Amino acid sequence: MTHAELPPLAALLDAVRVVAIPTRTRFRGITVREAAIFDGPEGPSEFSPFTEYGDAEAAQWLAAAIDFGWRPQPAALRDRIDVNATVPAVGPAEVAGILARFPGCRTAKVKVAERGQTLAEDVARVREVRALMGPDARIRVDANTGWTVDEAVAALTALATFDLDYAEQPCATVPELAAVRERLAAAGTSVRIAADESVRKASDPLAVARAGAADLIIVKAQPLGGVARALDIVREAGLPVVVSSALDTSVGIAMGAQLAAALPAGMLAGACGLGTVALLAGDVTAAPLVPERGSIPVGRPALSDELLARYAAAPERATWWRERVARCHALLATPGRA
């Protein structure tokens, strides 16, 4: 992104509102989701990298927010996107309540490898999801890089009993993903491997495809710098795709839905991970993008001044986010930075 393509910092800061929205269930250790919401010339946009991310990584998220809020988007080829239910690392007794928030969804992504939990807890959670959703549902697991190669092979061998659609990012590195994939295949265990962090957090998001380390890739518009850049990566990778999100408000989800809607026919590998507004206890729009009959509409929701005020972050947190926007804007303006 060149300096000429960047809106002035003052324009961003004039357009930003910072929110702090409670989650219904602890998710990735989070009980309150913070986000900077812009009211841009093209419509609402979102900047919400997790707070622990450094500025260099977060700058890509700001590039995505600018792209979505200040530039026209690629044409949508579909008007609704099928979405999966997302089941956090909860006990079996809580699974039914979680699934009830995703009406009509016939695919579920189940979090596993949570720090402090055991494989037995993962198995119990996945078993309950399968029992409640029935034999025809698709079940995916997401380890968020939580296993070693040996742990991943053992865990996925045990979880394969539940007929998994795929396992998302079982290990941290591309060579580890390749090793897991090879060892499972050699043992006759049929579990596809999906790459998430190895795409969105990588200096080279195409390395995983070149290495043959995954059967499909998970793409998220914010971490990849926006819809257009994500589409370029998808085309170059040449692998099936699932579009996902990062516990965004409906504004961020709309960006992901725009990406999913712009994918050429045949590239989507099933339901997308764009139903997570159902895990939030609030939103920034009166028309939240929560699943209805297993899908969400493509389109940008209107901001609600009342909800922006209700969930406004504390002044010190708003200042923290505004300063973060300024630092990331400076990085994007640095000559030679993409």
Among candidate residues 33, 111, 200, 329, the one labeled active-site is 111
39 is in an annotated binding site: no
User: HSE (CB half, 13 Å, CA atoms) of 82?
Assistant: 11
79 is in an annotated binding site: no
Whole-number Cα distances in Å, 267 to 237, 259, 260: 11, 12, 9
Q: For residue 231, how many other CB atoms are within 10 A of its CB?
A: 20
| Cα–Cα nearest to 256, from 305, 297, 206, 216 | 297
Among candidate residues 101, 181, 200, 220, the one labeled active-site is 220
- Whether 201 is a known active-site residue: answer no
**Runs of H (alpha helix) within the chain:** 9-15, 55-70, 92-99, 119-133, 149-159, 174-186, 197-200, 207-210, 227-237, 250-262, 305-310, 315-332
**What's the CA gap between 218 and 331, in Å, rounded?**
26
| Cα–Cα nearest to 140, from 270, 289, 282 | 270
- Whether 220 is a known active-site residue: answer yes
Instruction: Give the amino acid at 42.
Output: E
**What's the CA gap between 147 and 170, in Å, rounded?**
6
Whole-number Cα distances in Å, 121 to 111, 115, 184: 11, 11, 22
168 is in an annotated binding site: yes
**What's the CA gap between 246 and 264, in Å, rounded?**
23
Using the Cα atoms of residue 202, residue 76, residue 307 and residue 13 in order, give the sign of their dihedral: positive
The binding site consists of 142, 168, 196
Q: Residues marked as binding for Mg(2+)?
A: 142, 168, 196
Task: Give the residue numbers annotated as catalytic, written as ranges.
Answer: 111, 220
